[in-house]
Structure 1
Amino acid sequence: MADTISSLLAPASVALVGASDDATRIGGRPLKYLREAGFGGAVYPVNPKRSRVQGLKAYADIASLPEVPETAILALPASATLAAVEACGDAGVASATVFSAGFAEVGEEGRKLQQRIVDTARDAGMRLLGPNCLGVFNPSAQYYGTFSVILDGTLMKPGSVGVVSQSGAYGAHLAHLARARGMGISKWITTGNESDIDVAEALHWMVDDPDTNVIMAYAEGVKDRDLFVDALEQARTKRKAVVFMKTGRSSVGAEAAASHTAALAGSDDVFDAVLRQFGAYRAETTAQQIDVTYACASGRFPQDNKLGIFTMSGGFGIQLADDAEAVGLDVAPMPDDAQEELLAALPYSSPRNPVDATAQAVSQMELLTQSVNLIMQRGGYDMFAAILGIGPASPTFSSKLREALMAAVPEKDDLVRGLTMSAPVEAVRDYEKDGFLVFEDGTALAKAFGALAGFGRAFDRPASEREALWMEPLDLPTGPVSEAGAKAILSKAGIAFPEERLVKTGAEAAQAARDFGTPVVMKICSPEILHKTEVGGVAVNLLADDVEDRADEMFAAVARAAPDATIEGLLIAPMVGDGVETIVGVSRDPVLGPIVMFGLGGVFVEVLKDVTFRAAPFDVDEAHRMIREIRGFPLLEGVRGAKRADIDALARLLSDLSRFAYAHREAVKGVDLNPVRVMPEGEGVIALDALIEFGGDGA
């Protein structure tokens, strides 16, 4: 994998098939950029109609080249691409980039042509990028294998930010915005229709790239789930921030994604949760993706989330404090002794946090220095933000302001420092050289700092021991199973169920109830009846004396409602009334494979949709993070005198179920455990009902 993409991004030689003498055409721009950049490798224009292209000797075809190029750029119509791929494969070219559209994204005929191209390349051992993509570039190698117009007039400077984008236009826009923000690009890859190389593979390669520290990614869907998840986990363990834009949030967007580049959009909530699970950040807007990437490019990730704020205007300080708390930052007050020191110097200031030095600091710069220094040195903060407004743009004020601010900055610290200000780009760059992150908008700063804190927490988590998550697959049936059958299977995965008895008659049911000695629940047991209440197949809180008659009535009601169903008998179990009701399940996402869902039961799931997801498998620590994401989590901690629920046991159940789901991802389509009673702390967790749905074509 590494050699393949390396050949695309830093080739020793490249053939440009369809090279044009017109530098404004698709076949002309890559050659123009390569020459302007001073690319040191061999460049071979291929054009049978010309002897020279843009001053370079041209060749009639791939077979006429003086050497086998390491990679090829195919700037040809779709109809001519297959022959070009065949020629490259026959010559032994390692990889090729296909620019042209007109393949799987346009319909069945295009899909068939795309598949023929892929099959041809694979037979020759050649890898393909595209079709329908904008190619790649690598500024440090002076290699520009793209026809993007963002390079007209200004090439990219090398840097630490990588871009991986399924959409070429979006990837180009990101690179343009990054350049405008002062960021350099390490590598830039667009994958288009992903006939061969996809976002997951490109992302994985970028994570391994030593020149890349932050990755901006865009995708409409993911093909290789395991490689994608591994790339995210590797990025987290290597402390490389992945800032993701995933489209398809709405049903309309999901349909558009399915037609554009022939991608399949999975459940948006699931994708969002998986990014969070593996420490990536999902941007809501392009501007936010750039802001967060810009902050991450500084390489400073706080160990905690405490933010100190300095302002000379109370209103702006309060606004920033509100925005900070909204993204989970802690605007903790200054220590008491530091507040007293500030008040002694500035009697009319607000020393708590935000620290409002008032307009007096404008005329007495030493007070600004003292205030900022106290925040940085004594506040105990992980992050610092100052609101400077338009001060840095003032010809008579800017130099004094910067001198006073820098006088307060410790020579050595690992504090994340940010400013909100409006000023010419030269002034912004000066503050950036001083170690400050600069934003025009306070909300943008707060969200970027919140993302930094999230990355800091994710990077500090130990890597999961994947071997410990392995479960030996069970010998599963292929057809439907009853509740009793489902429980028997899941018990082997470590899931706890209440003691219960399967009986055949009303008399046996009554005896079972007497043996339990408590009110019981009675349920029909059949592999064909999934929703028992709809056929009269559930009765709760029954006393032993009532069980036999109710059992006979249930058999009769089910026989009328489902006459063809196979009836295994009745399940009798003691009523479990204590604990917090939750719902746990597994579904097979079309993109991300087996997914575990968790939420509180009842109105929380039916009306509020208060649920969260994780990609299977995951460990107990990840299960704890999952549990704490739902809005109803305080109910598990105990409210209004209620005992704390056994959250540890719940976390183990979620992890065990995730291991089962992944081990049987090809065979199991879904699992429902509803309800699951989380008992008081130390008493465990009990799944009261179970359903397993089998089906092939696993993700």
Structure 2
Amino acid sequence: MLHRNSSLSPLLAPRSIALIGASENVARIGGRPLRYLREAGFKGAVYPVNPNRETVQGFKSYASVGVLPETPDVAILAVPSSGTIQALRECAERHVKAAIIFSAGFAETGDEGRAMQDEIAGIARESGMRVLGPNCLGVFNAATGYYGTFSAILDTEFVKPGPVAIISQSGAYGSHIAHLARQRGLGISHWITTGNECDIDVAEALQWVVGQPDTNVVIAYAEGIRNRDVFLEALDTARAKEKAIVFMKVGRSEVGAHAVSSHTAALAGSDAVFDAVFRQYGVYRARTTAEQLDVAYACSRGIYPAGDRLGIFTLSGGFGIQMADDAALAGLDVSPMPDAAQEELKAMLPYASPRNPVDATAQALTDLPLMTSYIRAMLEKGGYDMFAGIFGSGPASPTFAVSLRQALEGATAGQGGRILSLTMSASSEIVRSYEEKGFLVFEDGSALVNALGALAHFRKSFDAVKRATETLEEAPRLSLDGDTFSEYGAKSVLAKAGIAFPREALVRPDEDAGAAAATIGFPVVLKISSPDIAHKTEIGGVIVGVKDEDEARHAARTILDRVREKRPDALIEGLIVSPMITGGVETIAGVVRDPVFGPMVMFGLGGVFVEVLKDVTFRVAPFDRTEAHRMIREIRGFAMLEGVRGAPPADIDALAEMLSTLSRFAAANADMIESIDLNPVLVLPEGKGVALLDALLVLRKD
């Protein structure tokens, strides 16, 4: 049996192709692929299947798949939905390895169409044949001239082979981004549209393309992901191989059936979860099609900067300042030139600004050797990982275009270890001539800086994987019944997983709360403990700051009376007596089960930050302490943990340890846990750990 990954090779790199429903009319869906294969010079065997013709577009035609002289690697089905199932069965009987179904009219149309699509999926499972679609535009592999698609973008010209792969659930989007990439001068290695995904989905297509040596960057588009494990494996593989993934994820919805009882579930929209997954695996999430293309273009060479320092050269102060502002937003370091280098540049041109951005003024255009000296000084003495030059329409000027190009080439010669980029407005021929010399060329400065920020992002992500040395230990499995635990029960379970809680006591309703409080040490907090009461404060089930035994006894009676009045149906285990802990930074942590990715760990600042600002982040469980540190530093309020206004820094190491432990426990019990809330979690001063003051554990009902 073929390995799941390699089993896509007959689909994406076939040696023989059958086109079922082949048409003589090159404008029809059954005619376009045949025309493309013929004109692109596909070297393998092509077998049109059309029982009504002896030849189709110059190819010998066959009455059925069953009479073909050999079993094709892939069959392209260009037949109506009503004939698709029968055609697919014939392919299965002939042991065809893969099939592409163009036709619509399946799950997207309603119950009847879904039943037909389910039948297609069943044929695929039973036969082992891999099926792409239905309702897709197909695939192409430009290097081999294999065009298994009817996309109209190929009417005028084919796509040159190159380092960019495109994977899209949407055929229209996939066609559009391929067209734009072609206009941008980008070559495409593989192009895959998955459509309704009855068998092959985006995750598996992604897994296959990142394993191809001719692919440096993947442009991906999806509304959702069906196969969590394959998807995460593909992202992990891409990062390990230093292949950039630039993803357009569309669609927003809320998840979490227990949003009423769980902070974590209420905050975990699917969009927030995808954001977190992409951050965790170093994927760049594009906000627009233009941004997706810009970032893919910058990554297409597979060259990334050693760091994030950007040197900006300009002939106009205004443009340079704007680019510097954009660089700050992109997380790039626009450090000034060294003092000695500034003095050297100032001596060359007294009224220039040699700091960074380095503004040589328009004088540099009339003295191009001066420009060469300025740029060379920036590259040799500035210590910059990336260089950006702002030139407007200069490179297109017939007056000095040639001499300007010579000056730039001379200034940057021997600087192959740096990212060299330019902004200019020029014809595609001029742009290509600069690209051939190693420059990234953008018309818009903001787009350029954003793309440079993406390059730095990928470099950091790739390096982080290389440095990873931590091995995750297995966490204990749950073996418990019920749906929701009391706070005391939840803490008891989590403590067994290595999550530490402050010392506390459970006092039964008929026991002496005062004596228990004295054992804990005053002041204390008294809380009701019941699996039926998630939000204790709403019914007056918490009293804080209790100072002595008599006050503890009175507080216990008060809480029990309130609970019996407001929740007479609730099972009462007793009262939790806890030490009154103050200080530190209030945070919140938890786990929610995402329908796609399973257990997701959430972390954020507590109080108003979570209630109003929703300053939280997520990670797929499990993860190590290094990833936990990255997670902690993502929140907007991270400065609170570093110490502000004289406050000491918080114990971030202890917090990271707790989050990693929580993630391992959640992953080990993924089939049982619906959600976990730890709120509040006080992060105490450095070296003093964390204090988890409350816990809620909800098990899956199924």
Deviation at 1:198, TM superposition (A): 0.5
Alignment pair present for 1:662 and 2:647: no
Which residue does 2:653 correspond to in 1? 648
Which residue does 1:204 correspond to in 2? 207
Say which SS state the counterpart of residue 23 (structure 1) adopts: coil
Distance 1:696 1:68, change over 3 A: farther
Q: Distance in 1 between matches of 2:657 and 2:184?
A: 45
> Is the deviation greater in 473-482 or in 176-185?
473-482
Letter in 2 for 1:406: E
Which residue does 2:146 correspond to in 1? 143
Which residue does 1:484 correspond to in 2? 488
Q: Which runs of 5+ in 1 are unaligned?
A: 252-264
Which residue does 2:14 correspond to in 1? 11
Which residue does 1:542 correspond to in 2? 546
Which residue does 2:257 correspond to in 1? none
Q: Taking structure 1 as the reference length, what is the TM-score of the superposition? A: 0.96
Deviation at 1:270, TM superposition (A): 1.3
Which residue does 1:98 correspond to in 2? 101
Distance 1:672 1:309, change over 3 A: same
Q: Distance in 1 between matches of 2:111 and 2:494?
A: 42
Which residue does 1:66 correspond to in 2? 69
Counterpart among 534, 537, 552 of residue 533 in structure 1: 537
Deviation at 1:303, TM superposition (A): 1.9
Say which SS state the counterpart of residue 691 (structure 2) adopts: strand
Q: Taking structure 2 as the reference length, what is the TM-score of the superposition? A: 0.96
Counterpart among 665, 686, 689 of residue 691 in structure 2: 686
**Counterparts of 1:17-28 in structure 2 under 5 Å?**
17-28=20-31
Q: Distance in 2 between matches of 1:60 and 1:2?
A: 33
TM-superposition CA deviations, 1:424-473 (whole Å, max 9, x none)? 11110111111100000000001000000000000111355686254342
Alpha carbons 1:506, 1:549 under 8 Å: kept: no
Alpha carbons 1:39, 1:143 under 8 Å: kept: yes
**Counterparts of 1:232-631 in structure 2 under 5 Å?**
232-249=235-252, 267-462=270-465, 468-505=472-509, 508-544=512-548, 545-631=550-636
What is the identity percentage for the equivalent residue pairs of Structure 1 and Structure 2?
A: 61
Distance 1:250 1:530, change over 3 A: closer
Q: Distance in 1 between matches of 2:178 and 2:144?
A: 17
Q: Distance in 2 between matches of 1:508 and 1:293?
A: 68
Alpha carbons 1:506, 1:551 under 8 Å: kept: no
Deviation at 1:412, TM superposition (A): 4.3
Distance 1:108 1:39, change over 3 A: same
TM-superposition CA deviations, 1:306-327 (whole Å, max 9, x none)? 0000001000000000001111
Q: How many residues in Structure 1 have an aligned counterpart in Structure 2?
A: 684
TM-superposition CA deviations, 1:7-55 (whole Å, max 9, x none)? 0112121111111111111111000000001111111111122222111
Alpha carbons 1:469, 1:617 under 8 Å: kept: no
Q: Distance in 1 between matches of 2:639 and 2:184?
A: 42
Alpha carbons 2:207, 2:234 under 8 Å: kept: yes
TM-superposition CA deviations, 1:649-678 (whole Å, max 9, x none)? 000111111111111111101000000010
Deviation at 1:215, TM superposition (A): 0.6
Alpha carbons 1:219, 1:246 under 8 Å: kept: yes
Alpha carbons 1:377, 1:410 under 8 Å: kept: no
Say which SS state the counterpart of residue 33 (structure 1) adopts: helix
Letter in 2 for 1:666: D
Distance 1:595 1:82, change over 3 A: same
Distance 1:166 1:465, change over 3 A: farther
Alpha carbons 1:45, 1:58 under 8 Å: kept: yes
Alpha carbons 1:583, 1:598 under 8 Å: kept: yes
Q: Distance in 2 between matches of 1:11 and 1:300?
A: 31
Deviation at 1:348, TM superposition (A): 0.2
Q: Distance in 2 between matches of 1:226 and 1:2?
A: 13
Say which SS state the counterpart of residue 506 (structure 2) adopts: strand
Q: Which runs of 5+ in 2 are unaligned?
A: 255-267
Say which SS state the counterpart of residue 582 (structure 1) adopts: strand
Distance 1:470 1:146, change over 3 A: farther
Which residue does 1:258 correspond to in 2? none
Say which SS state the counterpart of residue 628 (structure 1) adopts: helix
Q: Distance in 1 between matches of 2:668 and 2:376?
A: 55
Alpha carbons 2:504, 2:579 under 8 Å: kept: yes
**Counterparts of 1:165-244 in structure 2 under 5 Å?**
165-244=168-247
Deviation at 1:110, TM superposition (A): 1.0
Which residue does 2:86 correspond to in 1? 83
Which residue does 2:47 correspond to in 1? 44
